[in-house]
Amino acid sequence: MTTPAPIAVALDTDDIATAVRWTGQVAPHVSTVKVGLELYLRYGREAVARVREAGGRRVFLDLKLHDIPATVEKAVHAVADLAPAYLTVHALGGTAMVKAAAAAAPETKITAVTVLTSMGEGDLAAVGVAGPADDAVRRLAALAVEAGARALVCSPREVALVRAEVGEGIDLITPGVRPAGAAADDQTRVATPESALAAGADLLVIGRPITRDSDPGRAAAEIAAALRAQG
């Protein structure tokens, strides 16, 4: 049996039947499916259960929690029994918040989002985050890992920098991954799957290039094959 590729397909839809269909199509080819805010806010725990039933091997629960530590701790505890492989929080929530999240779900890899891939230098400056972007990502990555995060989300352009900062043993997850020729959509710091993996990413988040395809299963299989060919 072919080993699934290190891809998390983003199930970015508010329709559970669509998410289930996509999962069934891509599950033979990828390691992970990602349940985000659209799906979870509409269907809650049912969303996780249904995509698992459809064949999703691992669930990446992408809620990007960001609140005071006590609130985040309670929120993480509320979903811990769903046993997601990954659960996201914002590194910008600070050390105490990330620590609280990690303590609330020790079996889940609390995953700290550094700087959203939709944000460029001007966006960071506008919200008061000292740039450049790669330096902000590096600082936030170090803070989150020190606080107990076991995975990080960063753009593919910053993977090598983050790996040098945090070392081995921390999963680096990269959104903003687009096959050559695909539209960037609302992402600004992007790279191809092959270059992101070569830079040291452990898991590639890919959504629209797969789910917008007329045959998501075929699209996932083609990207997975290209990654395996890269070795």
| Amino acid of residue 167 | G
Please report, for residues 47, 117, 148, 175, 183, the alpha-carbon distance to residue 188 in angstroms, rounded to integers and kept in the order given.
29, 6, 28, 11, 11
Please provide residue 201's backbone torsions phi and psi, each rounded to the nearest 5 degrees. -65, 145
| Distance, CA of 32 to CA of 44 (rounded, Å) | 18
Query: Where do the DSSP E strands lie in the chain?
Result: 5-10, 30-35, 58-65, 86-90, 109-113, 151-153, 171-174, 203-206
Candidate list 34, 64, 74, 109, residue with the active-site label: 64
Please report, for residues 156, 178, 183, 230, the alpha-carbon distance to residue 124 in angstroms, rounded to integers and kept in the order given.
18, 23, 23, 34
Alpha-helical segments (H) within 60-132: 69-80, 95-104, 121-126
Select from 138, 45, 36 the least CA-distant residue to 87: 36
Contact 160, 174 (CB under 8 A): no
Cβ within 8 Å of residue 124, ≥6 positions away: 115, 130, 131, 133, 136
Active site residue 64: yes
Instruction: List active site positions.
Output: 64
